[in-house]
Structure 1
Amino acid sequence: MESRKSFNAEYLRKSISKNIVGTSATCVLTGENTWVRSWCRFEIARSLLNGNGIFAVRIDHLWCIGQRCYGEWGPNPLDYIAVGRDAQGRIYVYEYIGGGWHKMESMSKQLMRWPKWLAPVANGYVQPLSTGAPIYDYDSQNGVRRLLYWANQAAKAAGR
């Protein structure tokens, strides 16, 4: 039953939205394909709506038990998601698609306030999340011991 639900878009949307409530920081794991995953982007967008701090952790060079190999490098998903103001000054989540920034279709809700950890922009402009969210390397920066610290720092930057 649970595996059938995981392919239902409405179930996933509600599940992600529900599970973001009560959180204060979101960790985005960056691997070789993370940046193109629509549900990863949606989770980031819902985290912004919730007012979370956001940080990224590179995991591309770690051993993947399921694939039985080391992960490959991948772009930071936060380079492809932004917060921006439309011409009227309303705040929305944008994603980089086809060479340009577009309002995220799966996240049509307006943000009530600009993220504290991201530099503001004028109406008609966007700010990629990677310009304000730190990125860490799990292996070389001792993620096993520092992950909770990174999460607390992101929450603090968001005022949570």
Structure 2
Amino acid sequence: MAKRVFFSFHYQDVIDFRANVVRNHKTTKHEGAGYFDASIWEDAKKESDLALKRLINSELKNTSVTAVLIGSETYSRRWVRYEIMKSLEKGNLLLGIHINSIAGKDKKTKKLGPNPFDYLAIEFSNDGQKLNLLEYKNGKWVKYSDLDGWSISGINRSDWGKAYKLSKYFKVYDWVADDGYKNFDKWIE
């Protein structure tokens, strides 16, 4: 059965064509989601943060996988961070894909960008009953402000009161080095 994949990315990587290589590959093998027409995105931005959240939430609906396309600045983009955290809350499989190794419209590649999962974290409450969300901003870990945590159960007592970067839980691939064209379907299983 085809997976419905939400692609999270910094819009600059669409302009440079790197994100499009991944989003448009083998379109008959999986059904993509999370494609924002630039005008729809701009209209939502003019309305409010709530309008943007609603747009993202509606695009995440009925998806089971979120693929974060990692360019140079992806890790720092507010709405990419929201898409990751909302996907986590929703229970989507999350994975990262470095795309700077793909030649852009200028025919050049770039140094790999920072892993966004290194800048987001989960923290278990001291009693193990709540999952709190954190982000790394201005040189320190702070409460993630765009989404609240949620109640949980069944957490090992040894994890109570501890925080972990999302990179502990989610794999990151390189589209070129790991042959994404051939292996993407395996990555999303």
Q: Using structure 2 for the length normalisation, give the TM-score.
A: 0.69
Whole-angstrom distance in 1 between the partners of 2:177 and 2:77: 25
Q: Is the 8 A contact 2:99 2:174 kept in 1?
A: yes
How far apart are the structure 2 equivalents of 1:93 and 1:130? 14
RMSD of aligned residue pairs (Cα, Å): 2.5
Q: Which has the higher contact order (CA 8 A, sep 6+)?
A: 1
Question: Once structures 1 and 2 are overlaid, which stretch shifts more, 39-48 or 140-149?
Answer: 140-149
What SS is found at the alignment partner of 2:173?
Answer: strand
- Provide the aligned length of Structure 1 versus Structure 2: 148
The residue aligned with 2:139 is 99
Return the offset for 1:9.
Answer: 2.1
Contact 1:30 1:57 in 2 (8 A): yes
C-alpha displacement of 1:75: 0.7
Residue of structure 2 in register with 1:130 after alignment: 167
Map 1:48-63 onto structure 2 (within 5 A).
Answer: 48-63=88-103
After superposition, the C-alpha distances for 1:49-85 in whole angstroms (9 at most, x for unaligned) are 10111111111121222x6643332110001111111
Tell whether the 8 Å contact from 1:49 to 1:111 is kept in structure 2 after alignment. Answer: no
Q: Is the counterpart of residue 151 in structure 1 residue 179 in structure 2?
A: no
1:14 and 1:112 mapped to 2: Cα distance?
Answer: 24
Answer whether contact 1:29 1:56 (CA < 8 A) is retained. Answer: yes
Structure 2: tracts of 5 or more residues without a match: 1-38
Confirm whether residue 5 of structure 1 aligns to residue 47 of structure 2. Answer: no
Q: TM-score, normalised by structure 1?
A: 0.80
Map 1:3-152 → 2, pairs under 5 A: 3-7=42-46, 8-65=48-105, 69-89=108-128, 90-110=130-150, 112=152, 122-152=159-189
**Structure 1 unaligned regions, length at least 5:** 153-160
Over 3 Å counting, the alpha-carbon distance change for 1:126 and 1:137 in structure 2 is: same
